[in-house]
Chains A and B, each alone.
Chain A
Amino acid sequence: MSPTYAATPRGARGRSLALTGLLGPATVFLAAVLLVALCILLVNSAYHFTGTQVQPTLTFEAYRHFFTDPFYAGVVWQEIRLAVTTTAICLVVGYPTAYAITKIRRPGWVIAAYILIFSPLLTSSIVRAYGWLVVLARGGLVNWALLRLHLVAAPVRLLFDVTGVTVALVHVLLPFTVFPILSVLLRTDPALREAAADLGATRLQGFFRITWPLSFPGLYAAAQLTFVLAMNAYVTPQLLGGGRVQVLPLLIYENISDLDWPLAAVEATVLIVLVWATMLGSNLLFRRRLATLEDRR
């Protein structure tokens, strides 16, 4: 080997050393917190609960209980429905919002739009939930308006119901939907739309043939993020569900309060598996489509 190459491995080693130094602390922290916690969780899920305390014997009876009692299947089903509905509404509302923001010309208005979109993140989730409580209550703003406009004869149940939870969840999660879509749209070269128009495409054709397919990765990321956050939501279903909207995070909290750690661990495991399965499944499903778009630059 010629002496010129001798420097390369040393350089590469130096580089990987630097990388280790940079990534090391985060890796160690994540490994300790996440992996160790996951192991503890898995071990706990297999333990025995006497009704008052946890015994460290491997029985797996919490799993049996969870998967045989139809109550839990109902909760999981309701949770998935809630997350899917929330995600769908967020996408339907979020995509046009993001698209519209990219069309705003005046910098001042763009900033105003950003503040408006991200305002839900600037308030605590508790305050926000109580806000919705006021708005959605029997005598709240929405019902008052519906009654005054004679759209309904009697107040509608919005609170302590899936409807209210969905509305509030959409409100909190919308920024997480808008942002990935917005960033992809902003990265798309405006000349592409002009090129489409130049080749004979109307605005609508240009949108559906150029903007829409190119924004798919953003839409996809937004959907995943929104879905995951909706699945894991705790405060909103807790405060606005009024006990009628049961989801896994609520059950986990309840079971932990009851000291039934094995059942809580099983529910947590199921939640993690559900989320991961959805992510991996959708990644596989859209792998082709995403691959063609990723190398677009």
Chain B
Amino acid sequence: MSTGRPREASALPAVELEHVHKWYGSIHAVRGISLRILQNEFFSLLGPSGCGKTTVLRMISGFETPTEGTVYLKGEVANAIPPYRRDTNLIFQHLALFPHLDVYDNIAFGLRLRRLPRPEIARKVRAALELVDLVGYDTRRIHQLSGGQKQRIAIARALVNEPAVLLLDEPLGALDLRLRIQMQVELKEIQHRVGTTFVYVTHDQTEAMTMSDRIAVMNHGFVEQIGTSRDVYERPRTRFVATFLGDSNLLEAQVESSNADQTVLRAGAARLIGPADAGATPGSSVTLCVRPERLRFAGAGTASGGDDGNRLDARVRDAIFKGAVIEYRLVTESGARLILQAHADAARPVEPGAAVTVTWRKEDGVLLTE
């Protein structure tokens, strides 16, 4: 491994993984992950269950040791440092609050182990309770708290130790949708206030996009893509990323020609224009991905020539009213299924059964080569 690389103190990532593998017996749970999490960043590990995201989190917190590769915390090799000596704190999936201790003793747990003087502990616990807006709950017992309150106590119990990195293992999973959305906003606010690095594990793409500065999309033990919410949503690099984050229209096509401006594709009888892509060599098979909200019905209003020549004839199978938008399910002549999302205030809704032509701009398409 390359370890002689110079590291500047200011630019040190809070967490860095270098070619990290984890085997459980014969199961290869994490397959060579390298990533850098910057200081004060809200970083999410997003992926379906079993993709290895929790294992990565547990290797950062010290509960698992990488089978291969290196975990750095602030530039120092941390592979063999036990959890109790790491400057990280973990918020567990089911919170793991201590049922035999009251709220105060739960939050003070870490401070007492560090043998801080009593008045300082009291001061810090109070500040932590203020942070999560639960002042006065000191003597409550854990079972007397609501789901959201437990959540906040778990955050307070971790943050009171002022960790360099706060790790969160799908902590909002048990909450109902409303509370979950509220906690997402609160978590983001708390992160702004304390300025700690947050590493957040979730399988919920909306949650990841709402909160994260950057997202690592994981699948089968690999990182498929790392980027901002916008990056991974608008410029997915793989089929998996395109389908896991929201709905996508995926069109199989062959590259006909490609230049610095555009890529010309053929999908069955249709000729499609995609964005320029260095990886698109003539003759190769690619997948063209277009988000449902980027598709439009070609018609009177769109004759301005914004379609760059992308036109597909289709029939409307279903129109689903979703409040702000209407989602149309379409089938093209070649049998491909498409989803088109239009604002619900569009002048005249298209009825199921209608023959339509859909269109989109070439820059709204993304070429997926794998």
Residues of A within 8 A of B97 (CB): 195
Cβ of A200 within 8 Å of any chain B Cβ, yes or no, is: yes
Nearest-CB residue, chain A, relative to B100: A213
CB <8 Å contact, A297 and B96: no
Give the Cβ gap from A287 to chain B, nearest Cβ, in Å. 15
1/0 per position for B280-321, CB-CB distance to A under 8 A? Answer: 000000000000000000000000000000000000000000
Partner-binding segment picked from A131-139, A237-245, A249-257, A288-296 = A288-296
Q: Any chain B CB within 8 A of the CB of A174? A: no
Contact partner of A198 (CB less than 8 A), chosen from B89, B141, B143, is B89
- Cα–Cα, bound, A26→B266 (Å): 80
Out of A194, A205, A209, A295, which one reaches B92, CB within 8 Å?
A194
**CB within 8 A of A191: which of B94, B100, B113, B161?**
B94
In the complex, which residue of chain A has the Cβ closest to the Cβ of B160?
A: A199
Choose one: A192, A198, A292, A295; the contact of B84 (CB below 8 Å): A198
Contact at A201–B113, with CB atoms within 8 Å? Answer: yes
A210 to B90, CA, bound (A): 17
CA distance A55 to B75 in the complex (A): 93
* A198, B90: Cβ atoms closer than 8 Å: yes
**Chain A minimum-CB-distance residue to B88:** A198
* Cα distance A200–B110 in the bound complex, in angstroms: 6
Query: Do A200 and B113 touch (CB < 8 A)?
Result: yes
* Chain A nearest CB, measured from B242 CB (Å): 35
Asked whether A214 is an interface residue with its Cβ less than 8 Å from the other chain, the reply is yes
Q: A189-B94, A295-B143 are known contacts. Are A201 and B99 too (CB-CB below 8 A)?
A: no
CB of B113 within 8 A of CB of A192, answer no
List which A112-143 residues lie within 8 A (CB) of chain B: none
The reply to whether A292 and B141 contact each other, CB–CB distance below 8 Å, is: yes
Closest to B107 in A: A199
Closest Cβ of chain B: how far from A152's Cβ, in Å? 46
Residues on B with beta carbons closer than 8 Å to the beta carbon of A297: 99, 143
Q: How far, in angstroms, from A202 to B359 measured CA to CA in the complex?
A: 62
Asked if A270 is at the interface of the complex by the 8 Å CB criterion, the answer is no
Question: Is B114's CB under 8 angstroms from A200's CB?
Answer: yes
CA distance A199 to B105 in the complex (A): 12
- In the complex, what residues of A have CB within 8 A of residue B94's CB? 189, 191
| Segment 204-250 of B: residues with Cβ below 8 Å from A | none
Closest B residue by C-beta to A202 = B84
- Size bracket of the A interface: 20 to 34
Residue interface mask A11-55, B partner, CB < 8 A = 1: 000000000000000000000000000000000000000000000
Which of B83, B94, B99, B113 has the most chain A CB atoms closer than 10 A to its own CB? B99
Number of B residues near A (Cβ < 8 Å) is 27
Interface hits, B57-103 → A, CB 8 Å: 61, 63, 82-85, 88-90, 92-94, 96-100
Q: Quick check: is A197 within 8 A (CB to CB) of the other chain? A: yes
Residues of A200-219 contacting chain B, CB below 8 A: 200-202, 205, 209-210, 213-214
Contact B161 A195 (CB under 8 A): no
Residues of B within 8 Å of A201, CB to CB, are: 84, 109, 113
The smallest C-beta distance from B192 to any residue of chain A, in angstroms, reads: 24
Do A199 and B99 touch (CB < 8 A)? no
Is the Cβ of B92 less than 8 Å from the Cβ of A200? no
In angstroms, Cα B154 to Cα A203, docked, is: 21
| Residue in chain B with minimal CB distance to A293 | B100
- State A198–B163 Cα separation when bound (angstroms): 11
CA distance in complex: A82, B161 (Å): 50
* A195 to B157 CA separation, bound complex (whole angstroms): 10
| A195: chain B residues within 8 A (beta carbon) | 90, 92, 96-98
Measured CA separation A296–B61 after assembly (Å): 26
User: What B residues does A189 contact at CB under 8 A?
Assistant: 94, 96
Residues in B whose Cβ lies below 8 Å from that of A209: 109
Among residues of A, the one whose C-beta sits closest to the C-beta of B142 is: A296
Q: Do B157 and A296 touch across chains, with their CB atoms under 8 A apart? A: no
In the bound complex, how far is the Cα of B83 from the Cα of A292, in angstroms?
Answer: 29
A194: B residues at CB distance < 8 A: 63, 83, 90, 92, 96
User: Is the pair A295, B141 in contact by a Cβ cutoff of 8 Å?
Assistant: yes
Interface centre among A197, A201, A295 (most CB of B within 10 A): A197
Question: By the criterion CB–CB under 8 Å, are A197 and B82 in contact?
Answer: yes
In the complex, besides A197-B84, A201-B84, A296-B143, 19 extra interface pairs with C-beta distance below 8 angstroms are A191-B93, A198-B63, A198-B84, A198-B89, A198-B90, A198-B158, A199-B84, A199-B109, A199-B113, A199-B158, A200-B84, A200-B113, A200-B161, A201-B109, A201-B113, A202-B84, A205-B113, A295-B99, A296-B99
* Across the A-B interface, the 9 shortest Cβ-Cβ residue pairs: A296-B99, A199-B110, A195-B96, A191-B96, A200-B113, A197-B83, A198-B90, A200-B84, A197-B84
